[in-house]
Amino acid sequence: MGRFCLVCTCYGLFVPNTSHAMSKINRPMSRGKKLLAAMSRSPQIVCCARTFINWLPITRVYGGASLPTGFAARARCGFELPLRDPADVQTTWVVFCASDYFVPDDCKTVLDLGANIGAFTLYAACCRKAQHVYAFEPVAGTFDILQQNILANRVANVTLFHKGIAGQSGTRKMHLGVTSQHSSMIYRGSSKYESGVTEEVEVVSLEQLLDDLAVDQVDMAKMDCEGGEVEVILAASDDTLRRIKHLSIEYHFPANISNEAEFFGRLARAGFKCSRKSRAGKLAQFVRV
């Protein structure tokens, strides 16, 4: 499909529902703005069409349409990922369509730290053909969904762990989010993120995690733990961090636990270079040099 035809096809897709949790374009929206929105997203829509059989409904929902009951993303390579919440659609779009997480070719070992419902796990295991993916998710209800999604798709090159990561191993209180993507060990005191429910979870330090897996080198690690990723990076030694070749991190600073300069500086001192930083949010790629 040509770029012009694609833009014309998707011109009507970005008319957001103002109640939609993911809507990033506010009403009213002129024809010109609609056209610009469609054009700016056309590479992502092409990627969506290449990845998913039902790419058009996925694009509509991402653009603001209502999420149908029982909706699932159906991949051309065979897996299905149920999308129960608009936030699940956003996560799926970021992973598969925006390609915000870099997975190198011929990966042997991938870590998914903060696996949530398994979008990135499926991407790394099925689309990028990683030899093995180790996926960690601490929240019980979310882990159950992750496990269902991996088992239902019969993905053999994935091992799941009902654990989170933290600066030190042990147990921590998890503040459950209004969506599964917002759960965090760090209290933010905002009903925008927190449901008011807590849960005790098992956590492990990065050093212990790597030792337990008995891996000397990890080709790629993805981290998205609502602040836990920052705690882990700041607490880990240089030697531990350098056991990882590539890092893709969605970083957060709840309760001002750190800041971007300190966080990026810590990775630089461990020998990592920032190879890409997203303009849309706090997501960056790092490569060990």
- What is the chain's pLDDT, residue by residue, as a tens digit (289 residues)? 555 555 555 555 554 443 333 334 334 556 555 545 555 678 999 999 999 999 999 999 998 899 999 999 999 999 999 999 999 999 999 999 998 899 999 999 999 999 999 999 999 999 999 999 999 999 999 999 999 999 999 999 999 999 999 999 999 999 999 999 999 999 998 999 999 999 999 999 999 999 999 999 999 999 999 999 999 999 999 999 999 999 999 999 999 999 999 999 999 999 999 999 987 679 999 999 9
DSSP 157: T
How far is it, in rounded angstroms, from Cα 161 to Cα 147?
9
Contact status, residue 79 vs residue 122, Cβ threshold 8 Å: yes
Q: Which of 186, 204, 209 is nearest to 138 (CA)?
A: 204
Mapped onto helix, strand or coil, the DSSP state of residue 43 is helix
Instruction: Domain ranges for the chain, please list them.
Output: 3-95, 100-288
For domain 100-288, say whether CATH 3.40.50.300 is its number: no
C-alpha Rg value of the chain to the nearest Å: 19
Whether the model clears a pTM of 0.75, i.e. scores above it, the answer is: yes
Q: Distance between CA 127 and CA 19 in Å, rounded?
A: 32
DSSP string, 10-36: HTTT----TT-TT--SPSP--HHHHHH
Nearest to 116 by CA among 86, 153, 141: 141
